[in-house]
Structure formats: C-alpha cells, structure tokens
Amino acid sequence: MDSYLSNRQKKSEEYNSIDWHALFLYNEEDGLLTAKHNSTSRVKGATVGWLTSAGYIRFKHDKREWFAHRVIYVMCYGSIPYELEVDHKNRIRSDNRLFNLRAVTRLVNGQNIKQDDWTGIRLLENGKYRSDVMFKGKWYTAGMHFTFEDAYLSRQLLRESLYNGSSTVPA
C-alpha cells in the first residue's frame, strides 16, 4: 500500500474510532455541531469550532484539531472508508449540512472545484497579495505584493518568462 493510502487509512481510523455522538449533537438543517457537555474548551449547547482561513470548520478535542465535516460524516454514516474523502458538493467548505456531504475518491473531489475563477492571485492574511503561475504541472510564485495590480503585473511577467517560445500561453 502506498504512503498516501496508508496515511488516509490512519486518518480514517482516527475519525472512525471516536464516539462523536457522546460529545456532540448534530443539526442537519444548519450543519452545525453543538457540545453535549461542558468541558475546559466548550460550553454545553454552544456551537463547536471555528472557521479556518481555508474555509473549513475545525475544532479541538483531546489536544488535536478535527475537521467538522469528517466528524459529521462519521456521525451520520458510521465511518469514512479510508480510500475516500468527504467532499462538499456545493464547494462551500463551511456548509456541513448532510445533503451537501459525500464520500468520493480524491480524483472526484479534485474535480469539484471552480475552474473559471482562478486568477493565480490570493489575498493573504497579512494583507499582501501572492501571485502564482502553473507551468508544466508545477506552481511558481511571482512573489508577494501590496496591491492586486502589482501582483497581477508580476504574474504576467512570470507567465511570459515561463511560456516564452510556447505557441500557447494560457490566460
């Protein structure tokens, strides 16, 4: 078994081995977990978790961070098969309503992304813009910039440099 599947199996076993029903209540209508009991980090009845910079809901339990969508999947379906990932059908990573979650292969999960809105420029938490270019299957960074315009120009220069001599330069 390759290391990717081995790691996936370990993660699935970790999620599948905890009795999440003893800790949380799940509301299918809003997709939120609430604490069943008071603990050092939670108040009974309080919504569990925080929104990560990547858009997922995470929470702490036993000194570890857990993804809410995976926990919810285990609570509702019993387990996550190790060769599958839990996908958000509507691509909204914080939308953990049950009808929005499904177990799929990595290939299917990777195909469930918006293809038309990737600019290659991201606004980072520090307020700077990072620009990147994909070339022959690898990502190259054009640096971090204070304005979107500077990031865009830097990205264009890097694209021209990488694709110089190529008959097709993607947008």
Average pLDDT of the segment spanning 18-37: 95
Residue that the structure tokens 């700077």 belong to = 128
Q: Is the pLDDT of residue 103 over 80?
A: yes
Amino acid in the structure at residue 21 = H
The beta-strand segments (E) located in the chain are 24-27, 32-35, 50-51, 57-61, 64-67, 85-88, 101-104, 121-123, 129-135, 138-145
pLDDT for residue 167: 41
Distance CA 45, CA 5 (A): 36
pLDDT for residue 165: 53
The mean of the pLDDT values for the chain is 84
pLDDT for residue 117: 41
pLDDT for residue 67: 96
Q: Model-level pTM greater than 0.85? A: no
What confidence category does residue 61 fall into, taking pLDDT thresholds of 50, 70 and 90?
very high
Q: Is the pLDDT of residue 41 over 60?
A: yes
Q: 60 has which bridge partners? A: 65
pLDDT for residue 112: 65
Structure confidence by residue, pLDDT tens digits, 146-163:
888 888 889 889 888 888
Q: Is the pLDDT of residue 169 over 50?
A: no
At a CB cut-off of 8 Å and minimum separation 6, what does 21 contact? 75
CA distances from 127 to 17, 55, 90, 123 (A): 40, 17, 28, 6
Q: Is the pLDDT of residue 101 over 80?
A: yes
Domain boundaries, the chain: 3-111, 121-163
- Is the CATH number 3.90.75.20 carried by domain 3-111? yes
